[in-house]
């Protein structure tokens, strides 16, 4: 029965090679996915900084408007002091002016802090955009590289499929159908050699009597442990 298994063994070798290539192809995008994730992360970080700058600019305008209004109010209060008739009114206006000055000093300090923070954010954005451009170029180059490898792998798969079809034509239809059925359940490993009574697929011993019968090669047999088709690997 080994003669019937011979083309199937060849077919299995081809199918396993196809599976191996397909697995390799499926793993190709892993590095590209990581690069794209890095690009997306930096884009999000840059956008977050830009939104922060927008918020700071709004607050800057608010403070500048407050400063302008309060400065104008202080000027009016200073003008009133020249026409004050008593010390009480003078003290009240003087207190008001001092409070305005104090509040404006706080506003000016906040403005300086805002502008410093905006400057740092703008510098950080500029640096991040340089890094982002580098990452985008790297991702684009990786995508091109992956596509080239994938095309090469596809050609190999097509050649192997053509070879597999030719070999499959040598196998009896019922045996081929059985092989296809088992291939789905056994990750492509359907036929296994048995050496010294041990199945090479599951590494389990088969009964001695069964191994002796397998050596005689009189009928198709399967491993009692993994149900794969088996044949005796004879040694001199």
Q: What pLDDT shows up at residue 4?
A: 83
121 phi and psi angles, rounded to 5 deg: -65, -40
The whole-number average pLDDT for the span 184-188 is 90
Other beta carbons within 10 Å of 108: 12
Per-residue pLDDT tens digits for 64-113:
999 999 999 999 988 888 888 888 888 998 999 999 999 999 999 999 99
pLDDT digits (tens, 9 = 90+) for 24-64: 999 999 989 999 999 999 999 999 999 999 999 999 999 99
Looking at domain 27-167, its CATH class is: mainly alpha
Instruction: Render pLDDT for 105-146 as a digit per residue (tens, 0 to 9).
Output: 999 999 999 999 999 999 999 999 999 999 999 999 999 999
- Please state the pTM of the whole predicted model: 0.67
DSSP β-ladder status, 221-222 and 191-195: unpaired
Rounded to 5°, the CA angle 115-117-123 comes to 100
Residue ranges per structural domain of the chain:
27-167
CA distances from 232 to 46, 62, 77, 154, 155 (A): 66, 89, 110, 35, 35
Rounded to a whole number of angstroms, the distance between the first and last alpha carbons of the chain is 20
């Amino acid at each position: 029965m080994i003669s019937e298994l011979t083309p199937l063994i060849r077919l299995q070798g081809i199918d396993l090679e196809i599976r191996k290539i397909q697995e390799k192809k499926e793993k190709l995008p892993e590095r590209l996915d990581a690069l794209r994730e890095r690009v997306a992360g930096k884009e999000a970080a840059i956008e977050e900084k830009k939104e922060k700058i927008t918020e700071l600019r709004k607050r800057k305008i608010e403070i500048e408007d407050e400063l302008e209004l309060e400065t104008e109010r202080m000027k009016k209060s200073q003008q009133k002091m020249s026409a004050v008739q008593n010390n009480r009114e003078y003290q009240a206006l003087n207190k008001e002016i001092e409070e305005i000055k104090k509040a404006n000093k706080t506003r000016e300090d906040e403005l300086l802090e805002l502008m410093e923070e905006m400057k740092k954010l703008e510098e950080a954005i500029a640096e991040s955009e340089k890094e982002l451009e580098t990452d985008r170029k790297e991702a684009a180059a990786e995508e091109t590289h992956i596509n080239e490898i994938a095309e090469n792998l596809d050609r190999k798969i097509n050649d192997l499929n053509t070879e597999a079809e030719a070999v499959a034509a040598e196998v009896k239809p019922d045996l081929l159908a059985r092989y296809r059925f088992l291939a789905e359940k056994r990750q492509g490993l359907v036929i296994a050699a048995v050496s010294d009574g041990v199945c090479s697929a599951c590494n389990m011993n088969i009964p001695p009597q069964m191994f002796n019968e397998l050596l005689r090669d009189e009928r198709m047999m399967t491993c009692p442990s993994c149900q794969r088709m088996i044949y005796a690997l004879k040694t001199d």
